[in-house]
Amino acid sequence: MIAPTARRGAGHASCHHGEILQGVFLDATGRRCAGLVTLPMTGMGSRAEFTRRPGTPPEQLTVLPGDRTKAARAAALTVEECAPLRREPPCGGELRITGDLPVGLGMGSSTSDVIAVVRAVADSYGVRLAPGTVARLAVRAELASDPLMLDARPVLFAQREGRVLEALGPCLPPLVVVGCALGGGAPVDTLALPVRTYDESDVRAFERLRTLLRRAVATGDAALLGQVASASARRGQQLLRHPEFDTLVGIGRRLGALGVQIAHSGAVAGLLLDPAAPGLRHRVRGCVRALESNGIAATRVFTTFPPVPAFPPAPTVQPVQPVPTTKEFPSGPAHRGGHRPARPDTPRRPARLPAL
């Protein structure tokens, strides 16, 4: 009898740069639930390759690196999800995860791993999973999940339930973000933070911020989004208590930033700038210098919109195409083709983001 051949799949998932808004909100039935809106960031993320071995028991699953326990759970759960769709028994296999995401900064490193794994396993079965299914599997694997399976579309996401509370719009207003790492880039132990309880006044405050953010996205109002992010960041400091937070706010105010944003479960933060305001390059450099002179590590500058060429294209050149509407991309060749070319794999670093 000929043994079944191994079947390989691959997947990728990006990360985020902390949150724009996080708190407790009301769902469509009026029930309270935790929710967040993340600030997407492309260019960094996790990649996974899964080689399944038909005919082997499902518990025969090896994972590299061996400490990725959440990713291992995600692989097993996705095998259980996909095998019946192909009318095959669940099987084991080998899982390999690579990437360049620092851990502990609140950039969704574990969720990026998990979603890359889900996509890789699904790809090995030739299955295309809907975003809601990916979210459900991610929450089962790690108990709470960031909305990275929805790519860059701004949504209010119930991270512990894996569902969208509200789709805010097709894209965020244009922003330039000057990123930094508070606390010297040391990872934040979220399990050691005190548990925060919220009363009715807190929920009303979060709902007001939700309304303002909805308006900011609908109208492309970057200044209003900056106000929401700053208010949410200040509320987050009631638990995180970063000693540099007031300094960060002061730098932003002095250099004309629209606001600040932070990771509510980590140390990453950012100054939000209006790309349409005059003297952008000067203000970006000023922000970086001010951060460094105050002992805050500047990390990277990125935008919420596609990069544009340094010089306008000639009339005969096709214009830059807009970002497509968000959808759950399949794994495998078609999915991988939409991302930047692969480069040599690097081990995950403990905390630091790449320097500017």
- What pLDDT, in 10s, does the model give residues 206-219? 999 999 999 999 99
Percent of the residues in the chain that have a pLDDT greater than 70, as a whole number: 82
Q: Does residue 308 carry a pLDDT above 60?
A: no
Domains of the chain as residue ranges with CATH: 7-167+324-336 (3.30.230.10), 176-303 (3.30.70.890)
Mean pLDDT of 290-295: 96
pLDDT confidence band for 271 (50 / 70 / 90): very high
Cis peptide before 147 (omega within 30 of 0): no
Q: What is the mean pLDDT of residues 69-76?
A: 96
pLDDT tens digits for 239-260?
A: 888 999 999 999 999 999 999 9
Q: What is the DSSP string of 285-338?
A: HHHHHHHHHTT-EEEEEEESS----SSPPPTTSPPPPPPPPP----SHHHHHTT
pLDDT at residue number 73: 97
Quote the mean pLDDT of the chain: 85
Return the exposure string of 63-75: e unless at least 16 CB atoms fall within 10 Å of the residue's CB, then b.
beeeebebbbbbb
Provide mean pLDDT across the span 161-190. 89
- Encoded amino acid at 279, one letter: G
Tokens standing for 116?
């890359």
Span 87-105, average pLDDT: 92
Choose among 2, 3, 14: nearest CA to 41.
14
**Confidence bin at 319 (pLDDT 50/70/90):** very low
> Is residue 54 a contact partner of residue 64, using CB atoms and an 8 Å limit?
no
**Residue of 152 and 24 predicted with greater confidence:** 24
Would you place residue 22 in the very low, low, confident or very high pLDDT band (cuts 50, 70, 90)? very high
Q: Which residue has the higher pLDDT, 343 or 151?
A: 151
Quote the DSSP letter at residue 5: P
**Residue type, position 120, single letter:** A
Residue 6 has a pLDDT of: 74
**Once rounded to an integer, what is the mean pLDDT over residues 317-330?**
35
Mean pLDDT across 107-123: 96
**Is the separation of the CB atoms in 268 and 262 below 8 Å?**
yes
Phi, psi of 233 (to 5 degrees): -60, -40
Q: Does the structure show a pLDDT above 60 at 348?
A: no
Residues 3, 62: Cα–Cα separation, whole Å: 20
Q: What is the pLDDT of residue 349?
A: 43
What pLDDT, on a 0 to 100 scale, did the predictor assign at position 310?
Answer: 43
Task: State which H helix or E strand residue 18 sits in.
Answer: strand 7-26
**Integer Cα distance of 145 and 86 in angstroms:** 27
Does the pLDDT value for residue 273 go beyond 60?
yes
* Nearest CA among 215, 172, 121, 192 for reference residue 16: 172
SS3 assignment, position 221: coil
Query: CA-to-CA distance for 263 and 107, rounded, in angstroms?
Result: 7
Contacts of 286 (CB under 8 A, 6+ apart): 255
Q: Is the pLDDT of residue 146 over 60?
A: yes
Model pLDDT, residue 196 = 76
**Count of residues in the chain:** 356
Indicate the pTM of the whole model.
0.82
Q: What is the DSSP letter of 279?
A: S
What's the pLDDT score for residue 309?
43
Q: Which pLDDT score is estimated for 240?
A: 83
Question: What is the structure's pLDDT at 42?
Answer: 82
- pLDDT, residue 268, reads 94
